[in-house]
Structure 1
C-alpha cells in the first residue's frame, strides 16, 4: 500500500501519476516577477497561468518571487519555504471530483518584516520586469468617498518618517524604484490583480500620491518608466479548510500544509501595456486587449456584486455558504432580477460578449455545491467591496432614472448585517477595517434610518439623493419587521420600486 509523501522538491518525483506535477527544471527558472500578497487567489490565478506557461511552452524566465509584507504572512512564508515553493492546486470540478496539480512557478519568497532591504533590492534587480499585487481592495489606501490617498494611516505616517524601514507596499515600491532610477536599471510594470475597477489606474494613483510627498524627485521617472495596466481577474477561490487537506492526503497521497481549492473557471483580461516585456500568458488563455473597461464592469458589477448580494442576504437568513444562498429559489430569482433589471442597463456595448450566457454561467458557478465558498469570507471587508462592486451600478441607475430597489435593498441588508446577529439569533463577528464605524452606524439606524448612509468614506454624497434615501429607508424598515426571505419574496413579486 502506497503511503503519502510530504510535498517538496525532493519528493516531487514520487507523487501519483494522477497528479500533474512540474516536469520543467525548476533549478533553471529565473525570476522576473515579484508578487506582493501571496494568498490563495494569487496561487490559483497568476501563479497558475505562469506555471502553465513553463510546463507547456518551456518558458523559464518568468519565475515568481513572493513577498510577504505583513506579520500575518509569516505562515505562508514558512510553509512555502518548507515545501520549496510548491503547493497543490485542487480544482473542484462541477461533478464534485478534484483535479490535483502541483504548481512550481513560485521559486523564491521573502518575508519583509525579517529582511526589508532584501525586498527593496529584489524589486530593484535588473531581471525584475513586473511587480504584481494582490493587496485587497482596501490595500490601496484611498478614501472611497473622496478618492484621496489617506496620509493619516499610521503605517503611512511611519513610512514617511522612516523611509528606509518601510512597512507599506508604497514605501517598499518607492525605495525600490528610487534604486532603479539611480542605477539606470530601466522600466518596470506594476500590475494590480485586485478586484477593483481600473485597478492599474488605482495603483498608479495611490503610488504617485504617496511619492509626491515621500520622494517627489521620483515622479517624472515613474511617469516615463513605469506602466500600470488595468486588468480583470476571475476565479472563485474559497478558503482552504482541513477537509481539503485530508482529501488531498487520502485520495492523492500528498501532504500539503496549505493547498489551494478553486473552481475550473478562470479568466484574465489585461491591457497590453508592459514597460519591460511580459510573459506570453496569452498562450495559456489570458486575453490581452486595448481596453479592459467593458470586461471589468461586467465582472465587478455582476460576479462580485452578486457575491456580495448573496453574502448579505445569506448571512441574515443563517446560511453558511454561497451555494446555499444561490440555490435558494427566492434568492436566486432576486439575483437574476438584480442582474437583468439593474446591472445590465449600466454595462453599455460589450461587443461580442454573450451577456446572457455569462450571467447564466455566474448562477451556475454560485450554485456549485462542491465549492462551499464561505459567506463569512464574502462578507469580510465589505466597506472596501460595496463601494466598488455595488455602488457604481446604483449611482448610474440613479443618473439614468433606472430601477434601484434591489441594490438599495442590499445596502439595507448590509446595514442590518452589521447588527452582528442573524435571524436565528446566531451571532457573528464583523470583520472589517471600519467595523467600529459600521457597527455604531447600524445601531444608530434603529432610530435614525439614514445614520448608516452618513458614513461618508463609503457613501459620499449618496446620503443627499432623495430617491435613494427613500428607497433605502423603505427597504430597511421592511427588513426590521420582516425576515429577509419575506422581503425578497415581496420584491420578487413586484416589478416596481418598494
Structure 2
C-alpha cells in the first residue's frame, strides 16, 4: 500500500482510531498561546500538555507556532493543518497520540506582521519559548549581545507585539521560558529589560508592570525523528505524518505559579504548578543535562553513536553515576519529598532505553551554551565545599577533543573561536583560555589558572 497521497490532515483525522487522538473540536478553539521555537521538543512536551488540557475540557488554548530559523517545520505541519503524532517508545512498545493543539505555524521573516498581530491579539495570553540556549542571544558573560539580538530575535518580536498591546489597551502576557537555562524566567526578564533599555524604556516599564516571567523546568528526551520512525508510525496509523516526533514515556513540567492572566489547566494533566522551581531545575540541569553532555562527548570519544550504547559501557556508566550521585547531587538543595538517589536511578534507566535511538552528536551540539549551567555551576559549588569533580573533568577533556574535530564538524555558535583555541593548545592550555581570568566562557567556576593547569595536565 502506498501512503504518499494519504497525508495526515483534518480531512483524514477520522482514519485515526479514537484512542490515538483528541476529541475536542479544533475549529472552535481560539489561539491563546504564541510559541517561539516549534521544534520537536515543544511538540512532544508543552504542546502535548496543552492538547491534553483542551481534551480534558479546557478550551481556547490553541497554539500559534513561530519558527525564527527555518521554514522546515512549517513545511511539515502546514499541509497537515498543524496535526502531528507523538510516538512514546519504551521497551514495552510504542504508544501513538495525534496532537491537535497547534493551529498554525508562522515563519520569520515571511510572516513577520502576522507574528506581531498574534502577539497583540486579545485572545493571546501566553508567549512561550523553546529557542535553545543560543536563542537568548547572550554574550560570554551572560549579558545581552546586541549584535545577535536584532531584527528577528525573540526580543524584536516581543517588543513589537507588546508595544501594540500597550497601544491597544490590552493586558500584558505571561512570558514563559521553557529552555534549559538556570532561572530561565529571570534570565528572560533581565535580557528583555536590557533590550528595552536600549530601544524603548517606556515600553520596558509597561512590561515590568504588566507581564510576568515564570521559571520552569522541562524534562522529556526527544531524539531527532528519522525516516525509519516516520515509516513505523505510518504503518500503524495508516496515514503519512511528516511532522511526527518520537519520545520516551516519561515527562515532567514544573512551572512557577506566576501568571499575568489566564492559563491552561496544565496541572490537571500532569504538570506541577509550584512556588519555587529551583530545586527541580537545579537537579535536572546538573544531574540529567550534565550527565547527558558527559555521555555525549565521552561516548563519541569511545566510538558510540547512541545514548543507550554509551550508558551500556560499564566504564562510562560508572563515570556518569559518579557525576550524578557524587558531584551533582550534593550541590542541590532539595524540595520536600524530592529524592535525588531515586532520580539518579530513574535517569540511568531512561538513558538505557534502546527504543529511543537518541544520538550523542545531537546532545553534543552547542556545548558552549550548555556547559555553564550543566558543569561549571556544579564545579564551582563543589570547589567552595572542598570537593573534586573528576567525572566532569574527564567529560571536559572529551569536549576539548570534540572541539578539535575528533567527531566531525563542530556545531556551536562560538565554533570558529573555540575550534581555533582547542586545535592549537593542550588540554591544560585550552582550559586556561576558556575558563581562566579573561577566558571565553562565563566566569562561573572561580578556579585559578594554576589549578586549571594541574587539573587538565
Aligned to 1:126: 122
| Distance of 2:139 and 2:2 partners within structure 1 | 55
| Distance of 1:256 and 1:2 partners within structure 2 | 13
Matches within 5 A, 1:137-148: 137-144=133-140, 146-148=141-143
| Distance of 2:2 and 2:199 partners within structure 1 | 58
Deviation at 1:462, TM superposition (A): 4.4
Give the TM-score normalised by the residue count of structure 2: 0.95
Aligned to 1:107: 103
Aligned to 2:167: 182
Whether 1:14 and 2:33 are equivalent positions in the alignment is no
| Distance of 2:432 and 2:144 partners within structure 1 | 22
Per-residue CA deviations over 1:252-302 (Å, capped at 9, x if unaligned) read: 322011210000000000001001121110000000000100000111000
| Structure 2 residues not aligned, in runs of 5+ | none
8 A Cα contact 2:223 2:247, kept in partner: yes
Deviation at 1:459, TM superposition (A): 4.6
Aligned to 2:72: 75
8 A Cα contact 1:239 1:373, kept in partner: yes
| Structure 1 residues not aligned, in runs of 5+ | 160-165, 422-426, 475-498
Deviation at 1:461, TM superposition (A): 6.6
Check 1:430–1:114 CA distance in 2 against 1; reply closer, same or farther (3 A cut).
same
Aligned to 2:157: 172
Check 1:457–1:2 CA distance in 2 against 1; reply closer, same or farther (3 A cut).
closer
Q: Secondary structure at the match of 1:89?
A: strand
8 A Cα contact 2:162 2:172, kept in partner: no
Check 1:461–1:353 CA distance in 2 against 1; reply closer, same or farther (3 A cut).
closer
| Distance of 1:433 and 1:349 partners within structure 2 | 33
Per-residue CA deviations over 1:126-156 (Å, capped at 9, x if unaligned) read: 1110000011011111224x22111233xx3
Deviation at 1:348, TM superposition (A): 2.2
Check 1:216–1:411 CA distance in 2 against 1; reply closer, same or farther (3 A cut).
same
Q: Secondary structure at the match of 1:362?
A: helix
Deviation at 1:88, TM superposition (A): 0.7
Deviation at 1:401, TM superposition (A): 0.9
Farther off after superposition, 99-108 or 8-17: 8-17
Aligned to 2:94: 98
Deviation at 1:468, TM superposition (A): 4.4
Matches within 5 A, 1:153-232: 153=148, 156=149, 159=150, 166-232=151-217
| Distance of 1:10 and 1:349 partners within structure 2 | 49
Deviation at 1:23, TM superposition (A): 1.6
Per-residue CA deviations over 1:146-197 (Å, capped at 9, x if unaligned) read: 22111233xx3xx4xxxxxx31111010111111111110121100010111
| Distance of 2:391 and 2:15 partners within structure 1 | 53
| Distance of 2:62 and 2:369 partners within structure 1 | 31
Deviation at 1:251, TM superposition (A): 2.8
Farther off after superposition, 362-371 or 350-359: 350-359
8 A Cα contact 1:237 1:263, kept in partner: yes
| Distance of 1:100 and 1:468 partners within structure 2 | 52
| Distance of 2:276 and 2:291 partners within structure 1 | 24
Q: Secondary structure at the match of 1:364?
A: helix
Whether 1:341 and 2:342 are equivalent positions in the alignment is no
| Distance of 2:417 and 2:400 partners within structure 1 | 11
* RMSD of aligned alpha carbons: 1.7
| Distance of 2:21 and 2:170 partners within structure 1 | 35
| Distance of 1:205 and 1:453 partners within structure 2 | 29
Aligned to 1:376: 361
8 A Cα contact 1:16 1:253, kept in partner: no
Equivalent residues, number = 452
| Distance of 2:276 and 2:446 partners within structure 1 | 33
8 A Cα contact 2:376 2:444, kept in partner: no
Displacement over 4 Å in runs of 4+: 1-4, 461-464
8 A Cα contact 1:35 1:132, kept in partner: yes
Larger Rg: 1
Aligned to 1:439: 419
